[in-house]
Amino acid sequence: MWIYEKSLERPVKISRPDPAFAKLVITQYGGPDGELSASLRYLNQRYSMPTDKAKALLTDVGTEELAHMEMIAALVYKLIEGADPKDMEAAGWGGQYAQHNHGLFWTDANGVPWSAKYIACLGDPITDLAENMAAEQKARTTYEHLIDLTDDPCVKDTLRFLWQREVVHFQRFGECLNDVQEHMSKMNTWCGYEMRK
């Protein structure tokens, strides 16, 4: 089903380590609008889509989100590389160091652990696709905030790439929503129920 290449979707570079910024960018790893949440949401929702095209899109985007999670992990590791316990504590990551050392854990920027509550799936293709569009907008906004919070041009380059992919995903989900609505209209169904006359 998948072919895995042992390289990131796009190279991740930094100008210098920055544990304080790593603490912020971790939200795109395990926060509510992060890449893990998006991937699991889309790969789960694909089963309730009424068309092969919609199923394929959710599979493709969900898989790409896994690649983005991998990029965020690489970015965080580079930002904390060489940080000693005092550096981690000064960056507000003393608890992270105490529990995980330099190992990553799915949290948001405030240290709140990832939760399955972040995954939306109602089994209604229209509702789920609209939710996906909103999720991509929330991720786009988070990347914009992160870009504003760093002055490292290499980090900004990585974040801008991920920002651009959120915009593309939003557009694809919008197109898919139109296709699914048209399909359901032709089938004289809406959300799994026969349309009322």
128 is in an annotated binding site: no
Report the run of H or E that residue 113 belongs to, with start and end: none
Beta bridge partners of 193: 190
Report the run of H or E that residue 145 belongs to, with start and end: helix 125-148
Query: How many beta carbons lie within 10 A of that of residue 134, not counting itself?
Result: 14
169 is in an annotated binding site: yes
Backbone angles phi, psi at 14, to 5 degrees: -135, 160
70 is in an annotated binding site: no
State the distance between the two ends of the chain, measured CA to CA, in whole angstroms.
42
35 is in an annotated binding site: yes
- Cα–Cα distances (Å) from 22 to 7, 19, 51, 89, 127, in that order, read 21, 5, 40, 13, 34
Helix (H, G, I), strand (E, B) or coil at 194: strand
Q: Cite the DSSP H helix spans in the chain.
A: 19-25, 27-30, 35-45, 52-80, 85-90, 94-100, 125-148, 153-186
136 is in an annotated binding site: yes
**Inter-residue contact 128 to 42 (CB < 8 Å):** no
Report the run of H or E that residue 142 belongs to, with start and end: helix 125-148
124 is in an annotated binding site: no
Q: Would you list which residues are annotated within the binding site?
A: 35, 60, 65, 68, 136, 169
- Residues of the binding site for Mn(2+): 35, 65, 68, 136, 169
Q: Which residues are annotated as a binding site for Ca(2+)?
A: 60
